[in-house]
Amino acid sequence: MSRPIVAILTGAGISTDSGIPDYRGPRGLWTLHPEYEKLVTVGYYMTDPEIRRRSWQLRRQTHALDAQPNAAHRAIAGLFRSGAVALRVITQNTDGLHQQAGLPAHTVLELHGTSRTVICTACGARTPTEDALARIDAGEQDPPCQECGGILKTDTVMFGESLDQRVLSEAAAAARACTVFFAVGTSLQVYPAAGLVDLAAGRGARLVIVNAEPTPYDAVADEVVREPISEALPRLLGELPLTGD
């Protein structure tokens, strides 16, 4: 028998137990500090040195690079290692915790890029984010590219930027092909990521939503789970059938 094809879309909620705050939850960054959205909006970032300074300071203060995978990340990696299903992970997160948990990079589609590297907006050079933060700790408030002097930003998709079309196309293909689609820790309010649910459900996939707050897709889901993600997801993945139809 064929293996089930499982796609898992993850959002900020899967990483809150790792100490990384979410964005749109009751205690989310955007909820408590709406002005923070400017810090990750490309138009403001590219034209205002003060916005860049505050953006770098926010990244330093959140300590996201120090975060460790939690039980939910580890459960997904364990499912992959089991070989029981054909798995593709699509994430709205930029924290790299899926890879840290043991998922090979080629199995993770990072819709919004990665915060673990920085890119020069002028010459395209990429360097580790840790190096840029070390320069900030040493006193540089808005460190320029050391290759050409251009503006540096984390290698993430900011508001006002387009998603990588190759990554988005692969994510859409995974959503269309899967037999089970999990939406985990995501508000399902941001498109085109939320539209992946439509693609999966439209092809008859079983839809499971695991999120603390209601989402626009709860009414069409086969199962909605409000339990803490790091507790619920290991159980739900463990209940998956080991063979396909």
Residue spans per domain, the chain: 1-20+69-112+163-245, 22-66+114-156
pLDDT at 24 over 80: no
- Would you name the residues annotated as active-site residues? 112
Q: Tell the CATH topology of 22-66+114-156.
A: SIR2/SIRT2 'Small Domain' (3.30.1600)
C-alpha 129/C-alpha 126 separation (Å) is 9
Average pLDDT over residues 10-22: 89
User: What's the mean pLDDT when you consider all of the chain?
Assistant: 91
What φ, ψ does residue 208 adopt, rounded to 5°? -120, 125
Closest C-alpha among 175, 157, 201 to residue 89: 175
Stretch among 25-34, 125-134, 159-168 having the lowest mean pLDDT: 25-34
CA nearest neighbour of 5 among 64, 62, 90, 73? 90
pLDDT given at position 98: 98
Look up the CATH superfamily of 1-20+69-112+163-245.
TPP-binding domain (3.40.50.1220)
pLDDT at 36 over 90: no
